[in-house]
Amino acid sequence: MDRKKELKHMYQELEIVAGVYQIKNNMNGKRFVESTRNLKTINGVKFTLNNNTHMNKKLQSDWNEFGKDDFSIEILETLKKDENNPYYNEKEALKELEEKWLEQLKPYGENGYN
């Protein structure tokens, strides 16, 4: 029982890191760019794709057609929190970071799934 409490405590102590990631189709080069407040949730995204329940139907269709081995998932950038700024808003900062990557990679139309 003590081990269970110890593991629970260790999990609660893990730092939650926000950031932007991409899912890239290595066959056609299309990308899906998204931000998350917890990069650990990428495993949940893989789960939804593997179970045919991802919200992005174009991405899901290609995942089903090409298979998971033809895709790569990469963290593009982690959010650096500004603890010294009393007006810092993590949600807004994360949105700006995502917009930066969307502007840079332009994953729209023939180039992506966004």
The whole-angstrom separation of Cα 100 and Cα 84 is 23
Number of CB atoms found within 10 A of residue 39's CB = 17
pTM equals 0.84
In-domain check, residue 1:
no
So what's the pLDDT on residue 35?
Answer: 97
The whole-angstrom separation of Cα 69 and Cα 52 is 15
Please, are residues 52 and 109 in contact by the beta-carbon 8 Å criterion? no
Looking at the structure of the chain, the number of domains it has is 1
In-domain check, residue 9:
no
Residue range 33-60, pLDDT digits in tens: 999 999 999 999 999 999 999 999 999 9
Q: Which domain holds residue 22?
A: 15-111
Cβ-Cβ contacts under 8 Å for 52 (sequence gap 6 or more)? 60, 64
* Pairing verdict, β 19-25 and 31-36: antiparallel
**Mean pLDDT (whole number) for 17-28:** 97
In-domain check, residue 7:
no
Structure tokens at 43: 């495993």
